[in-house]
Structure 1
């Protein structure tokens, strides 16, 4: 089935970036077919950015966690002032996906492969943006300080991450889950280094015909990056039974996403 379990059950886990890289690389072909929520989140992030910094015309930008270029394409469409764009991702194989999607829309597009927490950034930017990515990092406060140092004084940081109710059905049944923050906690992390221009959150529900379809969705978007061993048939049947019992509704079985958004400028 392609979803994996840890050897122990726990409600919060430190992401294994080797596994994250592998799972997202495997999901490249299917990602955008299943990334309904990620598309919605990218659109909402760009709308908040436009409302929070309406007069800004950034020319240089950094996107963190570009994946197949889902946000990148929307970004350059909505901000034609961007002529120099750096995109980064753990997965080097995403580079041709992004380049094909962007084409010649920007005069200079560069790709940085590696872990944003340790990756050297070559310059300062007018805009740093990241959608559906930073909940995977190990030390968010340290990364926030790093990003502040790589923004111009009047630059803007725009991020979306997922909150405490994200994939709560999976956490309930399997015990697997990241250590998510709530919006107040997230704002507190960023407010040390940024003036918060806007923040928001929502809960989004997807419906699937059965729990197996939920697993296929997670595999197709690379989100099944927390486990190390495949399920046995017995474990799969138990998952199917409990998920159905707990989370069935008129439209099938549900899966919850909890996107949160922050827009900020560096504090002087």
Structure 2
């Protein structure tokens, strides 16, 4: 469960990572692309979306991916920090957006308003996901879609096994049960994205420059020289690609959700 202070900390971590996010967010780009491919499965690209709401827009990676495939009449973006909106608008190529700043769990959205509510790698931070699913269902038009990604319980398993800090992630079955009260659940599926790094320090750099974990232990500033040396040694020992390889791996385990508001 996230406190107000921890939400501010999360917002600050992502705000600081904003200028470097897209350069380092390789897994997140794959996740955004996968969400769009799932959208195309249920919403033909010739579909004109009148009203779209994106939760946790960040740097606009998913925003641009959606606009590359769909015509959107009115695009509403949400995030915790206003700098995201400023950054996205300055890199939008002239597209106009409506911005709603704040915690999506605490905001009130217009009833039966959106054709599509979409979000990538955001809802894992929410403290009451079941309540959010209920709340956002009322904002979706009958026949409208909910398209989300989150992460499985063993996401970033390499890092978590060594540091021991992680969020409480829901598995596919838990997510499906939460959704069925409010939606027609079309898909809840888990995949795996393995990234390869030259060494464990590059793993920490990746986490810092994407804001992914939003925990101090994932940043080089957290470590003492002794603990950092031990972390590097342990990471190499356990998670090198092969016995003779210097490269190490980091595994993302995204879960994708496609649901529809009943007619």
Calculate the TM-score normalised by the size of structure 1.
0.89
Task: Show the counterpart of 2:261.
Answer: 266
Q: Indicate the larger mover: 26-35 or 190-199.
A: 190-199
The correspondence of residues 129-168 of structure 1 with structure 2, limited to 5 A, is 129-168=118-157
Tell me which stretches of 4 or more aligned residues in structure 1 moved more than 4 Å: none
Structure 2 Cα separation of the partners of residues 147 and 101 of structure 1:
28
Which of 195, 198, 209 aligns to 2:198? It is 209
Confirm or deny that 1:75 pairs with 2:66: yes
Q: Secondary structure at the match of 1:59?
A: strand
Structure 1 Cα separation of the partners of residues 177 and 43 of structure 2:
21
Confirm or deny that 1:256 pairs with 2:251: yes
Confirm or deny that 1:53 pairs with 2:48: no
CA apart distance, 1:113: 1.1
Higher relative contact order (CA 8 A, sep 6+): 1
Task: Show the counterpart of 2:237.
Answer: 245
Structure 2 Cα separation of the partners of residues 104 and 27 of structure 1:
24
Task: Show the counterpart of 2:109.
Answer: 121
Task: Show the counterpart of 2:185.
Answer: 196
Q: Indicate the larger mover: 160-169 or 190-199.
A: 190-199
Structure 1: tracts of 5 or more residues without a match: 1-12
Task: Show the counterpart of 1:95.
Answer: 85
Structure 2 Cα separation of the partners of residues 58 and 27 of structure 1:
31
Map Cα deviations across residues 189-247 of structure 1 (whole Å, 9 max, x no partner). 12221101223221110011111110000000001312378222222112111111111
Task: Show the counterpart of 1:5.
Answer: none
CA RMSD of aligned residues (A): 1.8
CA apart distance, 1:14: 4.3
Structure 2 Cα separation of the partners of residues 17 and 137 of structure 1:
9
Q: Secondary structure at the match of 1:188?
A: helix
Report the number of matched residues.
253
CA apart distance, 1:86: 0.4
CA apart distance, 1:121: 2.2
Structure 2 Cα separation of the partners of residues 22 and 35 of structure 1:
17
Structure 2 Cα separation of the partners of residues 186 and 155 of structure 1:
19
Which of 16, 19, 28 aligns to 1:29? It is 19
Structure 2 Cα separation of the partners of residues 218 and 266 of structure 1:
35
